[in-house]
Amino acid sequence: MNLTPRLADPDHHREALTSRPLLLHGVARQTRHAGQTRLTVTSCHGRREHVSRALRRISKFFQDLRQIAEQLTVPQRWARILAEALKKYLHG
C-alpha cells in the first residue's frame, strides 16, 4: 500500500501504476522569503485539477500537523500520519 495516495484520497484505493504518475507528473519550484520556504508544484498531467485537490489536501494536513508537532513525540506524529492515511480502515 502506498501511503501518499491514501493521504490524498483516503476513501479510495489507488493502484501504484495509475496513482504514481498522477501525483508525480509535475514540476516543483522551491522559493524562500522572510524565513519561510514554499514549494510550488505545477502539474503537467491531464487531470491536473484532481492532482491539485489531492496536493492541497496533503498540504493542509501537514500544515495542521506542524502546528502541534512540537507537542507530540515522534511515534505520536507517525500515528497521526498513519491514522489519516488509513482513515477508511480505521472508520474515521
Cα separation, 62 vs 60, whole angstroms: 5
d(CA 45, CA 13): 20
Element (H, E) at 66: helix 48-68
Q: Return the DSSP state at 42.
A: E
Residues 6+ apart with CB under 8 A from 8: 14, 19, 23, 54, 55, 57, 58
Q: Tell me the mean pLDDT in the region 43-53.
A: 76
| HEC secondary structure over 11-40 | CCCCCHHHHHHHHHCEEEEEEEECCEEEEE
pTM of the entire predicted model: 0.65
pLDDT band for 1, please (50, 70, 90 cuts): low
pLDDT tens, position by position, 7-35: 777 766 666 666 666 667 777 889 999 99
Segment 64-84, tens digit of pLDDT: 999 999 999 999 999 999 888
